[in-house]
Amino acid sequence: MKYLVGFSRIFVGIFFIISGFIKLNDPIGFAFKLEEYFGPTVLDLPFFTPYALGISIFVVVLEVLLGVFLIIGYKPKFTVWSLLLMIIFFTFLTFYSAYFDKVKDCGCFGDAMKMDPWESFGKDVILLGLILIIFFGVKYIKPFFGKFITTIISLLAFIACLGFAYHVLMHLPSIDFRPYKVGANITDNMIVPEDADKGEIEYNYTFKVNGEEKTYTTNGSYPTVDGEFLRVETNTIREPYEPPIHDFSIERDGEDFTTEILQEEHLILIVSYNLDKAEAKGLKAIKEVADQAIKNGYKVIGLTATGPEEQQLFREAYKLNFDFYFCDETALKTIVRSNPAILKLEKGTIIQKLHFNDVDELQLPEVERKPEPVALQENILYFVDENPSTKDEVAVLDSELIESVNVIKDSTKLKEMNITDANTVVKIILKKE
């Protein structure tokens, strides 16, 4: 029993330190996951949502400290009881999420390693078993050092955790596990390989045949059955391949500019998932660096999930000299843990990613500004029943008299019509009396 407790003590202690440190490296990311758990589709505890970040920091610091306490043998009874209560809670939470299919990723290891709720539940069951061994064998837990040294180590661990948490909150995670890390190419991370796994879905069709319900399973094709169709249920056998980045897009006025913008050679992205929640200090700092970037030849745009009316208000309030584009809020929260933040890209590759506290570190050497495309002036010729007309004459036509309107812009067709002095022809056919 003594050796079993000793093994469990070291294993659980190291596990909690690693798991806690990964989340401590990104407490905002863990706070976003807690908000998901507090949401109406999971635990429905909205009153906890405003305190998600505080709860996140408390939980991850406690997780690391309990791991340290367990290994060095500091206050064994307090440590073991705390571990037991924590693992019971997390085991219940992961079981609830898995059984009711509430959360797809438990967030146990942040973005470093994805685990679905059933995998996480299995992990928690194993930990629960090991912690129970420690609980019933707590008398075998002896400190490795004297009381004074043990206390000093515990205190230093506590100070180090708080200091590290403060550092990553005021800057960015020290280790970036996300597909938007510096050096990553966003376009490449959005590609689905041709040989990617397409997944497997099972379709269970239920029919009423001769007064009895019978189920026929196919891979999607509708079964040939002489009976009354009742329902169909799907069962995912194997999930299809999903690229690292699958929810990122850059849109404006309903038009997708993702490909075009990610091809920019010198691009500065100002990211704010929610302008109403953005730090005023950060927006002021971003404004200064954005102005400098524009001056030095960079294309600057903003990405936000905030609506166009609010965008305009913020542009005017902070005198921002760049346009905002729409991007999914979850994607923006994943890109960077600062609101606002700044990214420097070259043809989709992330060169720098900075918290608003660090915008003075942005490297902005002067570059050759890419000329904006010149809009082709539209030269239109109007015809009414094959007779040349003018825009004004067409504008006063009674719509009740018009049979059809044909707009021709194709250059080949225009050449066939011997039209060389216009790039658009509008042909109006009137109804016959």
Contacts of 140 (CB under 8 A, 6+ apart): 1, 2, 5, 6
Q: Is 385 left (phi over 0), alpha (psi -120 to 50) or beta?
A: left
Given a cut of 90, whether residue 279 has pLDDT beyond it is yes
Q: Who wins on pLDDT, 423 or 377?
A: 423
Considering the domain architecture, whether residues 287 and 343 belong to the same structural domain is answered as yes
Task: Copy the structure tokens of residue 90.
Answer: 């997390």
- Summarize pLDDT for 105-129 with one digit per residue, the tens: 777 776 777 787 788 899 999 999 9
Average pLDDT of 52-63?
A: 95
Q: What is the pLDDT of residue 372?
A: 60
Lowest mean pLDDT segment, chosen from 60-74, 304-318, 392-406: 392-406
Does residue 184 lie in a domain region?
A: no
Considering the domain architecture, whether residues 267 and 387 belong to the same structural domain is answered as no
Considering the domain architecture, whether residues 21 and 90 belong to the same structural domain is answered as yes
Task: Copy the structure tokens of residue 360.
Answer: 């003075």
Q: What is the pLDDT of residue 281?
A: 94
Considering the domain architecture, whether residues 234 and 255 belong to the same structural domain is answered as no
Quote the CA–CA distance of 145 and 148 in Å, as a whole number. 8
Identify the domain boundary among 149, 170, 191.
170
AA identity, residue 197 = D
Considering the domain architecture, whether residues 161 and 17 belong to the same structural domain is answered as yes
Does residue 195 lie in a domain region?
A: no
Q: Are 302 and 272 in contact (CB under 8 A)?
A: yes
Considering the domain architecture, whether residues 26 and 108 belong to the same structural domain is answered as yes
- Indicate the average pLDDT of the chain: 90
Q: Are 293 and 238 in contact (CB under 8 A)?
A: no
Quote the CA–CA distance of 117 and 135 in Å, as a whole number. 26
Quote the CA–CA distance of 161 and 167 in Å, as a whole number. 10
Average pLDDT of 14-20?
A: 94
Q: Are 266 and 297 in contact (CB under 8 A)?
A: yes
- Could you tell me the end-to-end alpha-carbon distance of the chain, in angstroms, rounded to an integer? 104
What confidence category does residue 374 fall into, taking pLDDT thresholds of 50, 70 and 90? Answer: low
Given a cut of 90, whether residue 1 has pLDDT beyond it is no
Domain CATH for 312: 3.40.30.10
Q: Is 235 exposed, middle or buried (0-12, 13-18, 19+ CB in 10 A)?
A: exposed
Considering the domain architecture, whether residues 89 and 137 belong to the same structural domain is answered as yes
Considering the domain architecture, whether residues 232 and 256 belong to the same structural domain is answered as no
Average pLDDT of 159-181?
A: 96
Considering the domain architecture, whether residues 49 and 152 belong to the same structural domain is answered as yes
Considering the domain architecture, whether residues 281 and 406 belong to the same structural domain is answered as no
Does residue 244 lie in a domain region?
A: no
* 233 backbone dihedrals φ, ψ, rounded to 5°: -125, 145
Q: What is the pLDDT of residue 20?
A: 94
Identify the domain boundary among 238, 260, 290.
238
Q: Is 127 exposed, middle or buried (0-12, 13-18, 19+ CB in 10 A)?
A: buried
Provide the number of structural domains found in the chain: 4
Does residue 180 lie in a domain region?
A: no
Given a cut of 60, whether residue 373 has pLDDT beyond it is no
Question: Of 263, 289, 252, 256, which Cα lies nearest the Cα of 373?
Answer: 263
Question: Of 39, 60, 58, which Cα lies nearest the Cα of 48?
Answer: 39
Strand partners, 299: 267
Considering the domain architecture, whether residues 110 and 158 belong to the same structural domain is answered as yes
Q: What is the pLDDT of residue 290?
A: 95
Does residue 20 lie in a domain region?
A: yes
> Which residue range is the domain that position 212 belongs to?
200-238
Does residue 408 lie in a domain region?
A: yes
Q: What is the pLDDT of residue 371?
A: 64
Helices 52-72 + 27-38 axis angle, to 10 = 120
Identify the domain boundary among 170, 192, 223.
170
Does residue 215 lie in a domain region?
A: yes
Helices 52-72 + 2-24 axis angle, to 10 = 150
Q: How far apart, in Å, are the Cα atoms of 361 and each of 270, 302, 345, 352, 356?
A: 15, 19, 15, 9, 10
Considering the domain architecture, whether residues 151 and 289 belong to the same structural domain is answered as no
Does residue 370 lie in a domain region?
A: no
- Summarize pLDDT for 217-232 with one digit per residue, the tens: 998 888 888 889 999 9
